[in-house]
Amino acid sequence: MNDRINTISWITIRTTKARWEAEFMQQLLASYDIPSRVIDIGLGIYCGQGSQAALQVCSQDQWTALLLLSTPEE
């Protein structure tokens, strides 16, 4: 599995103002066996404004992940 994760294309599907939000979405995707990763972005983490983060998934899982994370109205 680690070899697969290291050789795939990652696509950012969400950005958040709080890292915990991205980690929560990552846990949801993990429950469906969708590999994902959380990346720290922006200067907020260094300026005391919180930890902005991006959630990334494998390119082949992009649309499934987006559907799982969408609100019912979307």
pTM for this model (two decimals): 0.76
- Amino acid letter at 33? D
- Evaluate whether 25 touches 68 at the Cβ level (below 8 Å): no
- pLDDT tens for each residue of 16-72: 988 899 999 999 999 999 999 999 887 655 555 568 899 999 999 999 999 999 988
- Evaluate whether 16 touches 53 at the Cβ level (below 8 Å): yes
